[in-house]
């Protein structure tokens, strides 16, 4: 990732002069992989955390298809991330569905083989 200082934040129009950090996430280590840039302002959200998808407007959830659920479940457990609903739950005989939430309340569903 990288950090954005006050000057670039203001000049670029991204955050009106507030500095922030950016983490870059990729599902695979490849130059062609889709990148997700997650911004952090080192403060707690100012809106209430939604309990369900319909509780807020805008982007509410993200679906990520994974090749194996095992390493994700291990990291979820290691970092004490709460599993939502009765997940993991089977979608069919080979595919699981897992639902978690990020600290801002965005729902993240993981779908993939066990």
| 7-41 pLDDT, tens digit each | 999 988 889 999 999 988 887 788 888 888 888 88
For the purposes of burial, counting CB atoms within 10 Å of the CB of 110, is it exposed (0-12), middle (13-18) or buried (19 or more)?
buried
Distant-in-sequence, close-in-space partners of 16: CB < 8 Å, separation ≥ 6: 9, 10
Mean pLDDT of the chain: 89
Q: What is the pLDDT of residue 14?
A: 87
Distance CA 45, CA 79 (A): 20
- The helix/strand/coil state of 3 is strand
Compute the average pLDDT of residues 69-82: 94
pTM for the structure as a whole: 0.72
29 DSSP 8-state letter: S
């Amino acid at each position: 990732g990288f950090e954005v200082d006050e000057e670039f934040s203001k000049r670029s129009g991204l955050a009106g002069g507030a500095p922030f950090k950016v983490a870059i996430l990729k599902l695979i280590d490849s130059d062609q992989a889709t990148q997700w840039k997650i911004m952090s302002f080192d403060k707690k959200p100012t809106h209430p955390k939604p309990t369900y998808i319909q509780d807020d407007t805008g982007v509410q959830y993200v679906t990520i298809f994974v090749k194996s659920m095992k390493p994700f479940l291990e990291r979820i457990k290691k970092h004490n991330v709460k599993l939502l609903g009765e997940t993991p739950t089977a979608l069919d005989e080979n595919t699981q569905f897992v639902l978690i939430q990020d600290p801002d309340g965005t729902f993240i569903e993981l779908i993939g083989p066990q």
